[in-house]
Every structure is written in C-alpha cells, then in structure tokens.
Structure 1
C-alpha cells in the first residue's frame, strides 16, 4: 500500500499491477481509490452476525506522533509532540502525563471518553447519542480536584431563587400592616374613650352647677313671691274684690254686703252684711232686700241674723264669686283695705292698718280696730288684708273722732252661720 501512482498516464509505475487485480479490473485506466469501509451506525443490522449486531473489531491504538494521511489508510510519523508537564492539559480535557497511552478513539457516532486524573480509572463512555458530560449514575466517580468545576469547560446553570417565598413574604407584610392598623385604631379608640369620659365629667359638673343655680333661683323666686305677697298693693286687692261687693237697699236704709264662700246648696250665692242694715225689714216681718251694682238690681232673702254680733246672712239666686276668708286672726300693724258704699257711693275703697284687736265688752263680741276712713253706708262691707282675704266685717265708727273704725272678726261670722 505504500506504492505511489503516476501523474496522469493511468498506469502504475514500473508496469506492475497490484496484487489480486486481474481481468477487466487490470484494464481500467488510472489508479484505484483506497478502499474505505463505511462504519455502520450503532444498532445497524449486520448480515451474518447473531441478532444482526455490529461485530466487535480490534481497533489498534494509534501511536504517539503518528497520523494517517488523508484517503491513504496508512500511518505516517509526524513530529513528536512537545513535553506536557504532569497534571496540565492543553484542551478542554486534561491530558495524560507525557509518555502515557493516549485516549482510545471513540467509535463512530458515540460520545468520547472523559479523561481521568492521573492514576485513576477512566470514566465510562456516554451512551450513544449523548454528549459531554456523560449521563447516568456518577456516584462511584472519583471527585474532581479542589478549585476545578465539576465538569471542565461547563458552567453550571445559576440557581434561581424560589418564587414561592414571595407569597409568604407578602402575607407576613400584610399581617404586620393589619396588626399596625389594628393597634392604631385601638389606641385611637382608647383616646376617644378618655375624651368622652372627660366630657361626661365636665357635663356632669356643669349640670350639677346648673342644678345648684336653679335651686338658688327657685328659692329666690319663692322669696320674691313671698315678698310680693307681703307687699301691700291696694289696687290689686280692689280689682280682685270689687266684683263681689254690693250695695244693699233695705226699705229706707242702705248699706254694704259681699259674697262669701262656696255657692249655696240650692243654687245662688251666700252673702254677709250687718244686722242693723236689714233690721227694719226683719223687725217688720219682711225678708226681702235688694242688691244693687252698676245699674243692676238683684233680689235677696234674709236667711238668718245674729243680733249680738251684728251679723246677717243673705241669699240671692244670682251667681257671684265668693271671697276667701283669712284662716288666722289679724295682727296690729297689718295693712288692710275697706270696700263699701259710704253714703250710697258704691265701689268706694279706703286703706289703713289694724290698730288693735279688741275683746268683747258689754255683751258685744270682740272687734277689730282699724284706722281706715269709713262712713255711714260702709256697714256690712268687707275688710281685706294684703293677701286678698277677708279678715272682718266693717260695723261702725267712733263719733266725734277720726281714724277709729270697728269690724266684726270674720271667724265670728263663719262660726255662727257655717257658710264660709
């Protein structure tokens, strides 16, 4: 196979035919191309072998420094490689120490062997179609030297952080935010409660103060009412009393009378006057008298008389407002108003004070002495205190003297007739 071929004459040099060439083959012009057997793929069918598998053929290990010329099938010696220090490589794989056997070439279509470190067994070849690094169980493979990657020339993929932590982090932040909001709201509610409590205390204090002031005002109002009641007002007294006071005409005599107490049992109004006002009619056997007021005239009947105390009980069918009698006796110095018809002049009003309370004398009952001016015609008229209550019935005055008048106490009249 080392014989050469001529240049363009189609004949072998020296005229010699190659061995084993005869017949028509010797007559073909030109050199024969080298015989190259195709290397079948792994798993291809081989005729004449059991199961059609690829027969195992011994592959001679190439020698160091030898290379095959293209399309020649021969090995030729090339230049010797340079010495490589132990433990260092020149390519992607670390090379074996100088003088060691080179790696076995990989079969066609299979992955190359991975180099082993010095003195260690080589790695198992990768499966067909696989690449570097080999796959499979590498638990028994020796470790790589420190500082070198697990697979030389291959950068491991970066480890991506797990995205499952973000929901947890967000949930934790949300819980913290909610807790902060809840705490803030609790603090605000507590502050609001304190403010409401303080407001309630201030309101209670203000209400207590207002209540105290109102109580004081009520007491002062009561006191003022008492003072106003105690204050003597003849105008107010006269306005309240005059509608219940009448002029009495009994025959040829005139005097005064006033309505008192509640309405009569059979209807009408009860009245008081002096006995000496109706004495002429009573002694004559008559019982009818007349009440006159503002051009009006009402008949009245003499019901009963008290000659000793000079009091007479009259009754009329008309309805008039009765005056209220005083529950207690008068005192000296108390102011009074006397209402009547002196000399026939109706609705006359005079004022004065109580001079004294006189005991009964000479068979006559007790009497009230006052200084209010009275004249004939005032007999039978009411004596009124500042509270608009009847305290007595005007009866007489002293002759040849001024400022001395007498009245029958109202209690004597009420006890004798039971109409008050």
Structure 2
C-alpha cells in the first residue's frame, strides 16, 4: 500500500458560519440612527415651540401697538371735535349780523316805528314775524291790523294777527317768503354773549353787542325778562336778541330810563310756546 503523504489530511470542509460581528454593528447603527432622529425631533419640536412663542409675543406686541394707535387716533379725533365745537362757539358778531340781517325789518305801525323779524319757515307763501306789542299798540288799539315792513328800500304789507300785551309780543303775517331765524330752546345764562339787531331812531340794520346781565322776574303777570347790556334805543323794540349760534334768544322790549347798559327782552320761548310760530 502506498504510504500516506506526510502532513494533515485534506478532506471536504463545510462553509464557514456568517460572522456575528456584522449583525451587531448594524444593530448599533440602527440604535444610534434612531437616537439621532429622536434628538433631531426634540430639537425641532423645541424650535417650533420657540417660534410659536415668538409669534404669540409678536402678535401681542402688534395688538398693543394697534391698541395704542387706536387710542391715539380716538384722542386726536376727540381733540378735533372739541376744537370744532370751540370754533363754533367763538363770538363773531360780524358773522352773526350777516346771518340775521336779511330776516330783520323796520316796521311802521301808524306813527310808531320799531323792528320786526321773521321766524320759522314760510308756509304757502306766507311768513310769520314777531315784534313788540307796544310797537303796534296804537294800530291794534283802534281796531286796525295793517302795518308796513321795510327792508333794503323795499316795502311789504303785513297784518297783525295776534298779541300778548302782558309779555309785549305781537305776531305778524306777511304774504311773502322771508327766511325765518332759528330760535334757541336753551335758557340764557348770565355772561352769555349776544347781538341785538334793529332800527334805533329809524336807523335800519343797526347792530350792537353785549352780554346777558341777568334773568329778571316780570311784573303784573308777565313772564321772565332777559336783562342785557347791549345799547338799544327807541326803534330797537321788537328786534331779535341773538346768541353766538345765530339763534334768537329774546325780543327786545325796552331800556331802563336815565341809565345806560340796561336793556330788557322777552325770552323767545315765551312767544314760541304761546303762538307756536318757531
């Protein structure tokens, strides 16, 4: 028999097993990758939370700024409104006279002259006017009612329709359309600035300026009287006493004798209430 070859005998060996180290490495990589992803997710979540917080703060800041702007705007609007109201209260006798004069007339009743003024809106081509009763007393006393109005060299015929002797008021009607003056619904106050328009001594379109001195009690059943310091004379009777808002507050009636700066007027609401002409 042949002798065996020296050394290790060779025979058919099985395939080596798959190394365990590769699987372990893959597992470690997967765990690390998962941890990294988790960390990234946590960081992103925190960033998103921070961004939301920043956005909420920005919105809150914007709301505060907007509220501040709105408040400043409201304040400015209030100041503008207040300035407008103050401007409307500024005493401008020239503007008051310009607005009132077209509605004021010289009135002739018999031998007496005075002043009358239109009130309210014309109706069916007819205007209503007011004057002082003592201006038309002579005509009315003898049963007459016809008087003459004069304005800008034009003459108009008018009729006395009603009187209040106690309060020195007479109501006229004229078949013409005259612009009526607005009347105040507020009681006068001492110190209130006024303009008196009339025809003293026949001098038409005369304007005097003053203030309300006081509100006086009338006598012999008459209502209150407005005392004012604007200069008036015979011929002013029946003329309008007007406030800064171009509203009639009274009807000039008389002045104290042997004195200056004491004129009296019938409150316009006395006429408005009784005759419903305002």
Where on the TM-score scale, by shorter chain, does this alignment land: which range? Answer: 0.7 to 0.9
Matches within 5 A, 1:265-414: 266-362=124-220, 364-414=222-272
Q: Offset of 1:301 from its aligned partner?
A: 2.1
More moved, 339-348 vs 282-291: 282-291
Measure the CA separation in 2 of the matches of 1:248 and 1:352: 24
Matches within 5 A, 1:187-198: 196-198=55-57
Alpha-carbon spacing, 1:186–1:100, altered in 2? closer, same or farther (3 Å)? same
The answer to whether structure 1 residue 143 and structure 2 residue 12 are counterparts is yes
Alpha-carbon spacing, 1:185–1:260, altered in 2? closer, same or farther (3 Å)? farther
* Deviation per residue, 1:260-310 (Å, 9 max, x gap): 23444x442211111222233333443332332223333322211122222
Contact 2:130 2:170 in 1 (8 A): yes
* Deviation per residue, 1:176-227 (Å, 9 max, x gap): xxx9xxx899999877766654443232112110121123223334443444
Q: Offset of 1:401 from its aligned partner?
A: 2.1
The answer to whether structure 1 residue 236 and structure 2 residue 105 are counterparts is no
Matches within 5 A, 1:26-175: 118=5, 142-143=11-12
* Deviation per residue, 1:82-116 (Å, 9 max, x gap): xxxxxxxxxxxxxxxxx959xxxxxxxxxxxxxxx
Q: Offset of 1:415 from its aligned partner?
A: 2.5
**2:276 aligned partner:** 418
Alpha-carbon spacing, 1:328–1:185, altered in 2? closer, same or farther (3 Å)? same
* Deviation per residue, 1:136-158 (Å, 9 max, x gap): xxxxx9338xxxxxxxxxxxxxx
* Deviation per residue, 1:19-62 (Å, 9 max, x gap): xxxxxxxxxxxxxxxxxxxxxxxxxxxxxxxxxxxxxxxxxxxx
| Residue from 58, 71, 76 that aligns with 1:217 | 76
**1:248 aligned partner:** 107
- Any gaps of 5 or more consecutive residues in structure 2? 14-36
- Any gaps of 5 or more consecutive residues in structure 1? 1-98, 102-116, 120-140, 145-178
Q: Offset of 1:242 from its aligned partner?
A: 2.1
Alpha-carbon spacing, 1:331–1:198, altered in 2? closer, same or farther (3 Å)? same
**2:22 aligned partner:** none
Measure the CA separation in 1 of the matches of 2:90 and 2:172: 33
**2:30 aligned partner:** none
Alpha-carbon spacing, 1:186–1:385, altered in 2? closer, same or farther (3 Å)? same
Q: Output the TM-score relative to the length of structure 1.
A: 0.52
Q: Offset of 1:338 from its aligned partner?
A: 0.6
Where relative contact order (Cα < 8 A, 6+ residues apart) is larger, the structure is 2
* Deviation per residue, 1:355-382 (Å, 9 max, x gap): 2222122455432221110112111111
**2:33 aligned partner:** none
Measure the CA separation in 2 of the matches of 1:267 and 1:314: 14
Structure ranking higher in helix proportion: 2
Measure the CA separation in 1 of the matches of 2:47 and 2:152: 81
Q: Output the TM-score relative to the length of structure 2.
A: 0.76
Alpha-carbon spacing, 1:192–1:318, altered in 2? closer, same or farther (3 Å)? farther
Aligned length: 255
Measure the CA separation in 1 of the matches of 2:155 and 2:47: 86
Measure the CA separation in 1 of the matches of 2:12 and 2:267: 144
Q: Secondary structure at the match of 1:261?
A: strand
